[in-house]
Structure 1
Amino acid sequence: MLKNYFKIAIAVLKRRKFFTFISLFGISFTLTILIVLTAFVDHLFSPSYPDPNRDRELFVNRIRLEASKKNGMSMSPLSFYFFDHYVAALKTPSKIAVYTNGEMSNGYKDNRKIVVELKYTNQVFWDVYQFQFLEGKPFTGGQLENRDKVVVISAATRAKYFGEEAQALGKYIEANNTQYRVVGVVKPVPFLNNFCYADLYLPYTLVQDNLKDQSLQGRFCATIQVSSSRDLPALKKEFAGMISKLPRSDESYDLIYCYPDEYLEVLTRGLLGQGKDKSTGKAFLIFGSFLLLFMLLPTINLVNINLSRIMERSSEIGVRKAFGASARTLTYQFIVENLILTLFGGLLGLIFSLVVLHVLNASDLSPNMELKINPVVLFYSLLACLVFGLLSGVYPAWRMSKINVVTALKANN
């Protein structure tokens, strides 16, 4: 029976080529956008180089101080003292990587200006993040203590300063009007992974700030790693207890908001929660509404096209009903036909997606980004095809099954 449905579906698609083109274009375009978007989200949130242990990490990148009496607020990264004095005293963490946000700087090579992004880190940073070293190794604890002017650079930065095939180990690179000796070269990090992306990685002891300043606000962030993902709730609880005991000042601030968040929570709290609310539910609502609207418009268009085709096939429906075809049989037939059409569109969408992903990966839109269709992306793409086919086929199929035999036959005359 499915074989007959398939033959009928092919014949129907050939009958009105323009409608077929419009239907396939709408389906393939929609699915291409969904596949590319899903690949992007998967790339952003799935554990990947150089952070394969994200499932047992929490991130602290901001503190919000409020003065309720003055209705004042200040939000910023944290001080090194905060992590070194308070967070380091917690019992749950196994490793604490401390680093600054990316800071832009100008470097020069042969009188040519090169814009680079700096990140100051502690030594544990190289234990938490599993960088692939192409040359050398991370700076040592001794080099940190001695405030040696050493640097780890990305392979992309090496190419800018020394050439594609050149060796950089032991050479000097200029940034911030300072010469740094290269002790390591790492495989580049995707630009969107802002917690560990940089062109140059420097010892945190080289920052110009007073690292012993006891204020809570500063320029540092941290990735806190635990031994097992089961320890994450305990870490959040212990961290909250620590925050509740921090000293307050009635004059400057009396409310402190600071949280160790999972990767998605960091983004939603910063973008939607203003550093206070987690806002994950709000993010899912916004994203889900966008996807629903994006799928609803082409679905309605396909429903209208299918209804038009029903009127063209009224005589066929009338004859089949006259010879005993049940409403259920006709409904199943039309739904299967629509699913076949959707799968054709899905196949085209998959091909278009591969082309778009290749173009995006080859472009400089996001350096070192590698979007791909992995099993997770493919599963959701096939699920989208199924949902799309059912949504656009059920109502027209029901309408077709309700056509009166006499009316359908008369419509042909």
Structure 2
Amino acid sequence: IVLTAFINNVARTDYPDRKRDRSLYVMMMDQRQEKTGHRLSGPPSFYFLDHYVGSMKTPEKVSIASMFSPTNTYINNKKLVINVKYTNDAFWDVMEFDFIEGKPYSFREIKNADKVTVITRDTRDNYFGEGAAVVGKYIETDNESYRVIGVVEDVPVTMLYAYGNMYLPYTLSKRDYLSKNLNSDYTAVLLAKSPSDLEQMKNEYQDVVSKVPIQNKEFDKLYSHADSYVGSYTRILLGNGVDSGVGKLFLILSLVAFLFMLLPTINLVNINTSRIMERSSEIGVRKAFGASSGTLVLQFITENIILTFLGGVIGLLLSWGIITYINQSNLIPNIHLTIDFQVLLLGILCCLVFGFLSGVYPAWRMSRLHVVTALKAN
């Protein structure tokens, strides 16, 4: 349940990415030498995303943002780590942040390289004090001072396309964002006008990639894909130049879940068989007084279902405790895990099903015991 809560948070949390149903995501650029297998993989560069992807016709907007990078500042002799993300102006149109105060920076401010910033609630509270009005004030990090123009609600660290503590115009980046290298540390979100345009947008992206000249002569093939949100992650872990790896992920999760449930079931069968054999005298006496095999089978299966259900309830309580601890301890920054109601019902159903299955075989063996054999065993 804890694992599904985490997966659910990664796959379904929609703040601030609330237009996911009409978005495609670009996280990787893979340059390869097909003969030798030599490759260079990593996030694409700002130049590639702005020059090539930005010229696409299908997307309504193209959000470009760097991966977050940690910087240090000190408040009252206390070190504060601020994760900085550099973005273009479309980032604020594609992502729907909840502004507590202020507004995002504009194209003009980016073009002028104005030292302005949007910060999160936690950053505001840690730097200026909880609940302070900070628009117009200055925040310093990495030996630079920036004027705060907006404050937004915090973003979970699992939202790589949007997570940061401090957002800055990309023109303030200390890295050379104008470099024509194809790999750097930027990601993109392509927003279509409607969900029906996703396939066309994906095809146009592949057409753009196929026409990009490879400047590094060490490589002869370029791979990059505009994927669904989940697909952009699975391609890194399980995919390749063709397959996004989503199918492999579901297959692996299904096999793990099956084995995770199969092994305890086999263990329960062995435990129940031993427990029933220890009660062979009771079985013999009850059979001697006329109890039918069906009655005894029903009794033992019912007992096993009740015991398994109680074990499941204890497991649910432990899961709730772990999730509460993770949320309150801020072990994973800004994440808020919840128990999905459907997963909860499925968990209870699994307890009942496996309680039944693990009790059938032992009960069947018990029903085949003869009265004399059962009594002689004791």
TM-score (norm 1): 0.83
Secondary structure (helix, strand or coil) at the match of 1:234 reads helix
Match of 1:28 in 2: none
Q: Tell me, in whole angstroms, the C-alpha distance in 1 between the residues paired with 2:109 and 2:254.
A: 49
Partner in structure 2 of residue 202 of structure 1? 168
Q: Which residue of 1 aligns with 2:146?
A: 180
* Pair 1:247 & 2:225 matched: no
What residue is the counterpart of 1:116 in the other structure?
82
Relative to the length of structure 2, the TM-score reads 0.90
Residue matched to 2:115: 149
Structure 1 SS opposite 2:25: strand
Who is 1:14 aligned against?
Answer: none
Aligned partner letter, 1:63: M
Quick one: which of 298, 312, 315 aligns to 2:264? Answer: 298
After superposition, where does 1:370-389 map in structure 2 within 5 Å? 370-389=336-355
Q: CA deviation at 1:406?
A: 3.7
One-letter identity of the residue aligned with 1:238: E
Q: Aligned pair in 2 of structure 1 residues 128, 382: CA closer, same or farther (>3 Å)? A: farther
* 8 Å contact kept, 1:173–1:182: yes
- Superposed counterparts of 1:282-297, under 5 Å: 282-297=248-263
Supply the distance in 2 between the matched residues of 1:39 and 1:71 (Cα, whole angstroms): 38
Alignment partner of 1:310: what SS?
helix
Partner of 1:280: 246
Shift of 1:220: 1.3
Identity %, equivalent residues: 50
| Preserved CA contact (<8 Å) 1:98 1:222 | yes
Instruction: Give yes or no for the alignment of 1:85 onto 2:51.
Output: yes
For residue 85 of structure 1, report the CA deviation from its aligned partner. 2.5
Alpha-carbon separation, structure 2, partners of 1:368 and 1:388: 36
Farther-moved stretch of structure 1 (300-309 vs 167-176): 300-309
Q: Secondary structure at the match of 2:41?
A: strand
SS at the partner of 2:139?
Answer: strand
Query: Kindly tell me: are residues 326 and 232 of structure 1, through their superposed partners in 2, closer, same or farther at Cα, counting changes over 3 Å?
Result: farther
Matches within 5 A, 1:4-403: 35-69=1-35, 71-248=37-214, 251-273=217-239, 277-318=243-284, 327=293, 330-403=296-369
Q: Which moved more, 1:154-163 or 1:65-74?
A: 65-74
1:214-259 per-residue CA deviation (whole Å, 9 max, x = no partner) reads 4322221111222443433333222222222222458332111101
Could you tell me which residue of structure 2 aligns to residue 13 of structure 1?
Answer: none
In structure 2, relative to structure 1, the CA distance for the partners of 1:204 and 1:249 (3 Å cut) is closer
Cα separation, partners in 2 of 1:249 and 1:212, compared to 1, 3 Å:
closer
Deviation per residue, 1:345-396 (Å, 9 max, x gap): 2222222222221111111310111111131331332233234323422322
- Structure-2 separation of matches of 1:403 and 1:340: 24
Higher RCO structure, 1 or 2 (CA under 8 Å, sep 6+): 1
**For residues 127 and 401 of structure 1, do their structure 2 counterparts lie closer, same or farther at Cα, with a shift above 3 Å needed?**
farther
User: Which amino acid in 2 is paired with 1:266?
Assistant: S
- Give the secondary structure class of the aligned counterpart of 2:182: coil
Return the offset for 1:326: 5.6
Evaluate the alpha carbon distance shift between residue 44 and residue 387 of structure 1 in structure 2; reply closer, same or farther with a 3 A threshold: farther
Task: Please state how far the C-alpha of 1:210 moved relative to its aligned partner.
Answer: 4.2
Cα 1:249–1:173 shift into 2, 3 Å: closer
Quote how far apart the aligned CAs of 1:113 are: 3.2
Instruction: For structure 1, list consecutive stretches of 5 or more residues without a partner in the other structure.
Output: 1-34
CA distance in 1, matches of 2:205, 2:325: 44
Q: Distance in 2 between matches of 1:321 and 1:91?
A: 80
CA distance in 2, matches of 1:379, 1:234: 39
Separation in structure 2 between the aligned mates of residue 314 and residue 55 of structure 1, nearest angstrom: 61
CA contact (8 A) 1:67 1:250 kept: no
Matched to 2:155, the amino acid is: V
Kept in 2, the 8 Å contact 1:303–1:395? The answer is: yes
Q: Please give the alpha-carbon distance, in whole angstroms, between the structure 2 residues aligned to 1:322 and 1:220.
A: 78
Structure 1 CA distance for aligned equivalents of residues 336 and 322 of structure 2: 12
Structure 1: distance between partners of 2:183 and 2:157: 26
- Between the two proteins, the alignment pairs up a number of residues equal to 378
Name the CA distance, whole Å, in 2 between partners of 1:250 and 1:78.
14
Structure 2, unmatched stretches of 5+, are: none
Q: Give the Cα–Cα distance (whole angstroms) in 2 for the partners of residues 220 and 339 of structure 1.
A: 53
- Relative to structure 1, the CA distance from residue 329 to residue 58 in structure 2 (aligned partners, 3 Å threshold; closer, same or farther) is farther
> CA RMSD of the aligned region, Å?
2.5
How far has the Cα of 1:141 moved from its partner? 2.1
Deviations 1:41-64 (A, max 9, x none): 111111332223323322101100
Give how far 1:338 is off.
Answer: 1.8
Secondary structure of the corresponding residue to residue 40 of structure 2: strand
- Report the AA paired with residue 242 of structure 1: V
Relative to structure 1, is the Cα distance of residues 283 and 181 closer, same or farther in structure 2, using a 3 angstrom cutoff?
same
